[in-house]
Chains A and B, each alone.
Chain A
Amino acid sequence: DVKVTQSSRYLVKRTGEKVFLECVQDMDHENMFWYRQDPGLGLRLIYFSYDVKMKEKGDIPEGYSVSREKKERFSLILESASTNQTSMYLCASSLYGTGRDTQYFGPGTRLTVL
């Protein structure tokens, strides 16, 4: 059974703080993704990675960076959190990058920036 875990379910931070969201998958998947989900906007892709140390921008990368030092771990970094980054953040992984693969999601981190 594929398992994707995220470091926190709920997080409250202050404007200007640096925020780290961690994601770990245990199925040796090649691809990992970070999304944010907002009411009325659906899931939007922030960044993805198809290999260790590789990263690609998604649709809304501004204000975010990522790190993939190990295959199983993909981190999302908010360098200086702002209130418009309050959202649900979902990590996902997939075995290959063909786009036909199932993406498996973690439980999400609800981030509130005050």
Chain B
Amino acid sequence: RKEVEQDPGPFNVPEGATVAFNCTYSNSASQSFFWYRQDCRKEPKLLMSVYSSGNEDGRFTAQLNRASQYISLLIRDSKLSDSATYLCVVNLATDKLIFGTGTRLQVFP
């Protein structure tokens, strides 16, 4: 079983739609959680950290469910510029991050 699993997509949604991605992790000792965004042929960049209480940044909301070991990302009012691959990332209280393979989002006009 992969340490971090994501639905690869693609998720094809119209502008203005709400879309949600889930990610599951296998190690219950995982301590830190993140969503990174990677545009086509570009490097990954941090989108947001995920906190136990859930957190919001504009149109983006991240949630963590430790009991079920999953993380979610909700994007409201999708924009064309949101088209990218979203990487779920987990840390085991070490220096190493474990990356999921990513979920691809395509927003169309």
Contact = CB atoms under 8 A, between A and B. Distances in A.
A43 B99 contact: yes
Interface string A38-66: 00111111001010000010100000000
B99 A42 contact: yes
Given A40-B101, A42-B99, A99 B92 contact: yes
A99 B43 contact: no
Main secondary structure of the interface of B (DSSP, over half): loop
B91 A99 contact: yes
Nearest to B90: A99
Contacts of B32: 99-100
Which residue of B31, B92, B93, B97 has the most chain A CB atoms within 10 A of its CB atom? B97
B102 A42 contact: yes
B85 to A, nearest CB: 10
B43 A105 contact: yes
Interface residues of A, number: 23
A39 to B, nearest CB: 9
Contacts of A41: 101
A21 interface: no
A99 B95 contact: yes
Contact of A102 (B46, B94, B102): B46
24 contacts: A35-B99, A40-B101, A42-B99, A42-B100, A42-B102, A43-B87, A43-B99, A45-B97, A48-B96, A50-B95, A90-B43, A97-B95, A99-B31, A99-B91, A99-B94, A99-B95, A99-B97, A100-B32, A102-B46, A103-B46, A105-B45, A107-B42, A108-B42, A108-B43
